[in-house]
């Protein structure tokens, strides 16, 4: 699977939500997530835990100007707690990211409004790119949303929460 994404700091999650709803985004859910990132040779590997469920996600990113193109695979995990312990013992933990995420959607674009523990407030846009589609076809929708949120290209962050959180020691 692939998506085109942009990440940015926000001054106000409430203001960003209001602006997104005004241009047609729909509220879907509020999620509490714990992402544990493991040491791997290629790409990034994280175990996402939310609501007692888990998913193992492996991804890599390619910069396409100010946006990032991600290739990713997701596998459901039946026992996230034991999976986390086994992967931590075998691979080592790089970082743990805890966040509260408000999920909004419009067409193929997901807008995440995140309050990340220890890091602050962020927005993340992900345009899901169907197999065979050109990722650039989603750029206009992302650009429109960034403009509505008052985010300029020079405010985009080209690293993930993984890199931002890696400077802090892993927490359980």
- Please give the pLDDT value at position 90: 98
- Please give the pLDDT value at position 63: 61
- Residue 19 and residue 93: Cα distance in Å, rounded? 37
Residues of the chain with pLDDT under 50: 168-169, 172
Q: Which residues pair with 26 in a beta bridge?
A: 105
**pLDDT > 70: percent of the chain:** 92
The DSSP secondary structure of 69-108, one letter per residue, reads EEEEEEEEES-HHHHHHHHHHHH-EEEEEEEEEEEEEETT
143 Cβ neighbours under 8 A, 6+ residues apart? none
Residue that is written with structure tokens 């609501």 in the block = 51
Q: Superfamily assignment of 2-165 in CATH? A: Hypothetical Protein Pfu-838710-001 (2.40.320.10)
pLDDT in tens, 79-109: 999 999 999 999 999 999 999 999 999 999 9
60 Cβ neighbours under 8 A, 6+ residues apart? 42, 43, 44, 70, 71, 72
Is this prediction's pTM over 0.75?
yes
- Please give the pLDDT value at position 130: 82
- Please give the pLDDT value at position 71: 85
The domains of the chain are located at 2-165
């Amino acid at each position: 699977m692939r998506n085109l994404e942009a990440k940015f700091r926000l001054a106000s999650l409430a203001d960003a939500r209001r602006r997104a709803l005004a241009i047609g985004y729909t509220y879907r859910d509020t999620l509490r997530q714990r992402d544990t990132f493991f040491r791997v040779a290629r790409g990034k590997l994280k175990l996402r835990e939310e609501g007692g469920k888990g998913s193992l996600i492996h991804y890599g990113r390619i910069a396409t100007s100010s946006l990032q193109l991600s290739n990713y695979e997701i596998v459901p995990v039946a026992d996230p707690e034991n999976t986390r312990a086994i992967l931590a013992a075998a691979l080592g933990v790089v970082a743990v990211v805890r966040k509260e995420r408000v999920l909004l959607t419009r067409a193929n674009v997901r807008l995440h409004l995140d309050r990340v523990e220890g890091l602050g407030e962020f927005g993340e846009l992900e345009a899901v790119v169907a197999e065979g589609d050109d990722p650039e076809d989603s750029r206009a929708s992302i650009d429109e949303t960034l403009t509505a949120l008052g985010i300029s290209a020079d405010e985009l962050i080209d690293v993930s929460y993984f890199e931002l959180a890696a400077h802090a020691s892993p927490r359980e």
